[in-house]
Each structure stands twice: as C-alpha cells, then as structure tokens.
Structure 1
Amino acid sequence: MTRLRRRISLLFALTSAVGLIAMAVLAVRSDSGRWREQLDHTMDADSSWALGLLETDADGRLDTAVLADTMDVDCPPLTVLLVDGAAPGGLAVQHAPAKPCLVVSRDVVLEAGRAAVRAEEPRGFDRRTANGAPVRVFALPFYAAEAADDEGPQGVLVTTADASAPQDDHRRLVWLVTGGCAVLVLLSAGVGHALSGRAVRPALTALGQQEAFLADAAHDLRTPAAALRTLAETALRGETDGAEVHRRTLRLAEGMGRLVDGLLTRARLMSGTAVPDRRPLRLDQLVEAVAAEAGESTAGAHRIRVDAEETVVAADPDLLRRAVGNLLGNALTHGHAPGALADVLVTVTRDGTVTVEDAGPGLPPEVAGALFERFRSGSGSTGLGLSIASWVAHAHGGTLTAGSSEHGGARCVLRLPARED
C-alpha cells in the first residue's frame, strides 16, 4: 500500500507538472512574441514616418537631404539602402547615421535589408550591438513613386531599437513562471500524497478488517475442528459407541454451521454490504418469539422470563431477531454457575430498550468496557454473538452496553430508536 500511495502521488505530480509546463511554455512564448511585436510596431511607425521624408530629384534619384535635416537619424539609427545590382549583396548605402546611439555592424544592416527586399515586406530580427547589447533590427522596403506592379522594392529603411529592457522583463517572467511551476508541482505532489492517503485508507481499513476476520474465524473454527478430529480418531479406534459418535458429530456440525453463519453475518455488517431493511415492527412480540424459541431449544432446562411493554421500532426483523437471540443465547450459556440452571430476565420498555439480565458470575469491569471491540470464542469468552449484536445495534442507530446486574450477574442493554405510532 505504501508503494501504491507513492505511485499515485508521483502520477499526480507528473500529471500536474505536464499541464503546468505546457501552460508555462505557452505563456513564455506568448510574452516573447508580444514584446517583439511591440518593438516592431514602434519601429514600423518611425520608419513609415521617415519614408515620407524621402524625395526624388529631377533625374529620378533618391534625395535624403530632407530626411537628414528633419529627423534625427542617429537615435534611433536609421539607414537608407538602395537596390543596386552592381553593389555587393545587391544593396548600396544611400544614407547612414553619423553617430548612431546603437552601433551594429554593417553586415547586420545589409543582412536585414536583403531579407526585407527578398520578402518584399517588413522583417524584424534579434541581433546584438558591437559591445554585445541585445537589439531589435527592423527593415521596411519602399517602392518608387511610379513603379510597376511587378517591379520590386526601390530600397529599404533599416532601423534599430534597444531590446535590453524588454528582454530583462521577459527573463524575469521566465524565472517567475519557472519558480511558480516548481512550487505548484511540489504543492500538487503534497496534495496528491494526501489524496492518495485518503484514497487508499478505505482499502487499508478493508484489509485490516479482512485480516481480523480471518484471524478470528481461524481461532473460532480451530476448536470445533479439533474436537471433530478427536471424535473421528476415537471412533476409528472403536473406543466410543457409534450412535454417541453420530450424536456428538451432529452437535459439532450444527455448532460449526451456526458459527460460520455468524461469521458471515458479521463480515457483511463490517463491510457494509448488509443494509438493514427497516420497517415498523412490534419489538415486544419479536422478543417474546425469540424467548419462546430459546426455551424450546433448551427443552425447559433453563428459566426465561419476559416482561415486555408494547413497543414499536423501525428495524430489520431478521437482523434484530439475530441480535436479541445472540444476547439471550449468551446469557443462557454464560449466565449461570457450572451445573446450575440459568435464570434470565428479558425486559422490553416503551422507549425501545431491551434488557437481558442473568444470575451468573457477572462481568469484571475491565471486560465490560471492551466487550464488543473484538470477539473471541472459547471457554469463558463473550463469543461471536455479542459482536454481531453490537453491529446490529449501531446499524440501526442504537447502542449496546454491558455491565453488572443488580442480581450479581451480567446485564446487556440494547437501545433502539422507538416510534410513537
């Protein structure tokens, strides 16, 4: 069970980790694209405004004088490239900032310009300055005023923006998301461990009940099985009359049948599979019927007195009959001195209480307190019946207690919720 609990906790943690990591990756990628889009949008606006300052002279050549006089092309650095097949790389520098605030290599500017010209649409790139600072390079192609539809770009404007602050913010977000995921995974592992404990607790309880039931069943069946084996060995040696062997075998078989029936009933009650079929019934009549059956089974060898008031309860007739029968049978078995007759008084009151008193040796205080916790059988024990009676009482919302009688014997009190009708 410990290994199963660990596996459940690990599976819960892994499942949570996969989900959290997937969400973290999406969040990081979304933020990474967002800050790049913001920089590109800003540089696109600046480049578009600068594009309007470019003029063409009478010979059709591009004039950047107005752009240089009107706009500070040093910050942000703005480079104008013209498409020139004779120039290296197909681009020639028409205008470049004299003292750019962000210094990038000429190759970076040309690379960005060529990419925008080939794509015939704006392009953005992550690059670094000469001193290693991160920058965003943006290239915007432009066309001649009277260019044909199939004619390519006339040139390209390349600008650069500082990306240190956005990247620092993005890096902090990555660390925050990573730390949050780690904390949540650990938290989910703890929650999974707690939930797995709650999930396997019923199984552990069931296993414990099963082990207790098997141990008690083996203990209770060991004595009659040993007696039956001894009886068979005696019969084989011819030391006992055959008719007596048969009678004793029959008694042992009947006792073992009752014991097995009681064990099965208790197991069903403990597992919750035996659900009481509650219905209104006369408790006094049921007790009188059980007492009459017990008197017949003992052939009048013991004295059973019933003092019952008319009482109605909501209970399962079969289970309640077994519980009352077990209480009465326990009193008849143990409620008298050796060789003496049992004198049992059964009282039923209107509040749904059944009291069974005998005139036997009584119960020591240390035994009465734990009488129904664990059943045992054998000489001087409480037997299986009281355990079943206790389970029946609790299944009906009642109680079963035991103590000493005023007459010196044992006194068992079964209390059930009574009905007024």
Structure 2
Amino acid sequence: MNGSSAERLRRLRWALTALFTAVNALGLIAFAWFMISEDADQGTERINADLLRVTSSVSRLVGYDAAIDLSLVNTDVLNEQCPQFAILPGGAAGFQPHLSRRTCVPVDAQVLDGLATDAVRGGTVVTGYQRGSGGELVQVRAEPLLSRTGKPFAAVIAVEDTAAVSAEHTRYMLLVIGSCALLVTALGFAAHVLSGRSIRPAASALQQQEVLLAETAHDLRTPVAALRALAETAMLDPAQRTDLLPRTVRLAARMGGIIDDLLVRARLAAGVEQLSIQPVWLDQLVAGVVEDTEPDGAQVTVTTAPTKVNADPALVQRAVGNLLNNALRYGRQPGAPAIVHVMVAGGTVTVADHGPGIDTTLTEDAFDRFASTGGSSGLGLSIVRWVAEAHGGTLSVYNADEGGAIFELRFPLSTS
C-alpha cells in the first residue's frame, strides 16, 4: 500500500479510537462523580439519622417539672452505645450536666457547651461538623429541650465520629475510580478494534486499487513493448508492414482484453458488478464460446452433455473465454500447435491442454494470480476464479499425469 495513504488510514483509526474513548470516558467520569456524590450524601444522611435517633429518644426520656428528671435517661441503653450524647444547660437554669457513659470520640467540653448554648438561645436544632480532642472530624446535632411553656431549658448534643463512614466512602470511591479506569481501558481497546473494522473496507479498497494499478502496469508492459517494436520495425522496413499489420491488430486486441479483464475484476472486487442470475444451458453457452474463438491453428475438441446452471451468462462467457484463450496461448509444446479439450457435464466446464502445465509451487494464497510455466500473467484465470466465487462455484486446477494443465470450473446446477 502507498505509505502516505496507509499512514492517513492509521491516523484516522487512532483518531476514531481517541474520539470514541474520550466520549465514553467523559460519560463514565460524569457517572462516577454522580455515584461518589450520592455515596457521600448517603453517608452524611446515615450519621444524621443516628444523631436524630439519639437526640429525639433522649428528649422523650428527660422529665421536667420545676426540676430536671434524668432517671429514665440513666437507665436507658443509649448511655452505653454510640453515638455518645450529653445533656447540657446551655446558659439556661443551672443543673448538673449529664454525659453518656460511653465515650466514642473525645470532644472538648467547651465545644459541647457552645453547641448547647446556640441551641438553647436560638430555640432551634443546630447541626454541623466539629473537631474532636484528637483532631477527629465529628458530626454533631444539638436539639433544645422545651418546657411545657415552650421555653428551652437545656439541650441534648449527640456526637458521632465520621472516620468509619469516611473510610467506607474512600473505599467506594477507589472502587468506582478503578472500575471506570478499567472500563475506559476496555472501551479504548474495543474502540481500536471497531475503528479497525470500520476502516477495513477503505483499506481493502485502497489495497485493491493499488494491486489493480500494479497488475495493469505488469500485464500491459509486455504487449506495449511488443507493439512498439512492431511499429518501429514497420517504420524502418516498409516492406514488412503487410506482415506486421495483422500481428499489430492481434496485439492491440489482446491489450483490449487485458483492460476488460482488469475492469471486470475491479468491479467485482468493489461489489458494483450486478449479477444477472438466470437458468443457463451451460453446454450451449460453452459451445458458442468455442465456436466464436479463433483457434489460430490449434486443435480444439468439444464434448458436452446437457446441463443447466444458475448463472450470469455474460460473466460465464468471459470466464470460459479466458480459460479457452489461456489454453490456446500457453497449452502447447515448443514448435507444436496447441491441443485443447473442452468438456461440459454436471455443471462443470473442464478445459485441458497439452502444454507445460501449471507451476506446482503455487499455493492457495497465490490462487488469485496464476503464473504458468509458459509465461502467462494469469490475470484472465484470476477473473475466472472471481466469476466462480461470485456464483457460489469453484475453480480447480491441476496437472495431468501425461502433461498439460486441467482447469475445472464448477457452477451450481439449476433445479428449474
């Protein structure tokens, strides 16, 4: 392939990969941010729910009738659990502060007094974050206690350490980030594969175009050189023009056939050649091709049996004509006329010659372009195989024991 064209396709593939990956990465980042934010909010809500449970429960246990009664609070299981709580006057009528027996996280008394004072003075619930004695981040809730007249007389302050929830949130965040990174990597790989598949038709078309150009140059080089030689000879020796003119015409016709074959192959490869499939009497079609072909001194025998196939008549005529022309041109021994046998039976066209045969070193991978020991470029045979495959048939080639090449072109039989 052309270096610059191939490089452009490679850059296009990487650009498609980058675009696909970037778009999906942005989507995953937005999704990850949403999930992480939701988890953080849920952690805060869980702590708020625990603090609300403690402050509301303790508020119902506190008795107030001219004096504060904490007897029910002292016997409740909340005294032994986390979150910890405290009942403080907060600047109201003095009484002995109450602290739950279990200290889950140490908090300075001044911090608790300040929260209680804010709740009592404002008559509202105070929530937020504070620092514990050891620098721990704690979440607090201060709920005022109201007398029967609706006047705040104390406050219940619940405190819970956020370390456990923060650690759980960190693990969740790392899991989400790691999963997103893994997904982005997988999506990048998938994008690279998909972009490769998406540009494969363009790469294949480019390769076919350049192969076609190379084959055109290869196949036309020899006849063009011969045509030039004939023209130069005719110019230098006018006496030979009468003999050289028929050879020139035949050579020009050969070049036209090469160009036609190249165009057919290009159209088949590009998928623009529309097959006109219909029932065809293969024996009659082959007999007509043989009759219309100039033998040029060769011995051609035809043996046919009635056989009907489903095929495109025009393409089948070209394929059979290519097989016959190849046999006539290369199926001969030096100094002897070509001997060609054509047989039709059971949906198969067999063309056998008495030439040097096909190079046995050719592999199946080289089947697209034959090369005979007689010097054939093999483009016509390549067209034959394209036609066979387009019809769901096959083209086989092998050498006969007594010498010469045998080609078998098979088509699906018609059931109508």
TMscore range, shorter length: 0.7 to 0.9
Aligned equivalent of 2:298, options 291, 297, 302: 302
DSSP 3-state at the match of 2:355: coil
**1:162-241, aligned counterparts within 5 Å?**
162-230=161-229
Hey, what does 2:338 align to over in structure 1? 342
Match of 2:33 in 1: 25
Q: What is the distance in 2 between the residues matched to 1:26 and 1:118?
A: 38
| Match of residue 41 from structure 1 | 49
Q: Compared with structure 1, are the counterparts of its residues 340 and 420 closer, same or farther at alpha carbon in structure 2 (3 Å cutoff)? A: same
What amino acid is aligned across from residue 56 of structure 2 in structure 1?
S
1:129 paired residue number: 132
The alpha-carbon distance between structure 1 residues 98 and 131, as it changes in their structure 2 partners (threshold 3 A), is same
Q: Distance in 2 between matches of 1:154 and 1:275?
A: 96
TM-score by length of 1: 0.80
Partner of 2:5: none
| CA positional deviation for 1:260 | 1.4
State the alpha-carbon separation in 2 of the partners of residues 74 and 92 from structure 1: 25
What is the CA–CA distance in structure 1 between the aligned matches of 2:260 and 2:333, rounded to whole Å? 28
Check conservation: 2:32, 2:180, Cα contact below 8 A: yes
| 1:402 aligned partner, one-letter code | V
How far apart are the structure 1 equivalents of 2:194 and 2:122? 57
The residue type equivalent to 2:128 in the other structure is F
Q: Is the 8 A contact 1:122 1:140 kept in 2?
A: yes
For each residue in 1:163-207, what CA deviation from the matched residue of structure 2 results, as whole angstroms up to 9, or x when unmatched?
222222222222222222233333333333333344444443333
Q: Give the structure 2 partner of residue 272 of structure 1.
A: 271
What's the offset of the Cα at 1:284?
0.6
Matched, 1:292 2:291: yes
Tell me how far 1:383 sits from its aligned partner. Answer: 3.2
After superposition, what is the alpha-carbon deviation per residue over 1:270-294, rounded to whole angstroms, capped at 9, x for unaligned?
A: 2333243322111111111111111
Aligned position for 1:380? 375
For 2:90 and 2:168, the matched residues in 1 are separated by: 36
Q: What is the alpha-carbon distance in structure 1 between the residues aligned to residue 86 and residue 231 of structure 2?
A: 113
Query: Which residue matches 2:398?
Result: 403
Q: Deviations over 1:284-329 (max 9, x none)?
A: 11111111111xx45x743322111000111111111110111111
Q: Distance in 1 between matches of 2:15 and 2:158?
A: 56
Distance of aligned partners of 1:119 and 1:195 in 2 relative to their CA distance in 1, 3 Å threshold: farther
Residue 99 of structure 2 corresponds to which residue in structure 1?
A: 97
Amino acid at match of 1:173: Y
DSSP 3-state at the match of 2:385: helix
Answer yes or no: is 1:7 the counterpart of 2:15: yes
The whole-number CA distance in structure 2 between the counterparts of 1:404 and 1:114 is 108
1:16 offset after TM fit, Å?
3.6
Tell whether the 8 Å contact from 1:216 to 1:376 is kept in structure 2 after alignment: no
| SS of residue in 2 equivalent to 1:124 | strand
Q: Distance in 2 between matches of 1:176 and 1:191?
A: 22
Out of 393, 401, 404, which is 2:388 matched to? Answer: 393
Is the alpha carbon distance of 1:110 and 1:285 closer, same or farther for their aligned partners in structure 2, counting shifts above 3 Å? farther
The residue identity in structure 1 corresponding to 2:280 is L
2:4 alignment counterpart: none
CA change 1:98–1:305 in 2 (3 A) is: closer
* Structure 1 stretches lacking a partner, 5+ long: 85-90
Q: In the alignment, which residue of structure 2 is the partner of 1:138?
A: 141
Alpha-carbon distance in structure 2 between the residues aligned to 1:278 and 1:28:
62
Question: 1:358-394 deviations in whole A, cap 9, x for unaligned?
Answer: 2333334335977733256997214321110011112
Q: Aligned to 2:306, what secondary structure does the other structure show?
A: coil
In the TM superposition, what whole-angstrom CA distance separates every residue of 1:316-361 from its partner, at most 9, and x where no partner exists?
Answer: 1111111011111111112224554333221111x21111122333
Aligned partners of 1:118 and 1:247: how far apart in 2? 121
Q: Deviations over 1:129-154 (max 9, x none)?
A: 1112332211334555445xxxx977
When normalised by structure 2's length, the TM-score is: 0.81
In structure 2, the partner of 1:325 is: 321
Q: Quote the Cα distance in structure 2 between the aligned partners of 1:292 and 1:367.
A: 32
Instruction: Specify the code of the residue in structure 2 equivalent to 1:78.
Output: A
1:2 Cα deviation from its structure 2 partner: 3.8
CA separation of 1:56 and 1:360: change in aligned 2, threshold 3 A: closer
Alignment partners' CA distance in 1, 2:126 and 2:317: 90
Q: Tell me by how many angstroms 1:112 deviates.
A: 5.1
Q: Secondary structure at the match of 1:130?
A: coil
For the structure 1 residues 327 and 316, does the alpha-carbon distance in structure 2 shift closer, same or farther, using more than 3 Å as the test?
same
Amino acid at match of 1:39: I
Unaligned runs of 5+ in 2: 1-8
Range moving further from structure 2, 194-203 or 365-374? 365-374
Aligned AA (2:28): L
Deviation at 1:43, TM superposition (A): 1.4
Report the CA distance shift for 1:154/1:264 in structure 2 as closer, same or farther (over 3 A). farther
Answer whether contact 2:223 2:255 (CA < 8 A) is retained: yes
Specify the SS of the correspondent of 1:387.
Answer: helix
Q: Tell me, what secondary structure is at the counterpart of 2:128?
A: strand
Asked if the contact 2:58–2:73 (Cα under 8 Å) also holds between the matched residues in 1, the reply is no
Q: How far apart, in 1, do the equivalents of 2:228 and 2:122 lie? A: 100
Tell me the SS of whatever aligns to 2:259: helix
Query: What secondary structure, in the 3-state scheme, does the structure 2 residue paired with 1:401 have?
Result: strand
Cα RMSD (Å): 3.8
Preserved CA contact (<8 Å) 1:228 1:252? yes
Partner of 2:253: 254
Larger deviation, residues 180-189 vs 283-292: 180-189
- Output the amino acid matched with 2:169: H
Shift of 1:245: 7.7
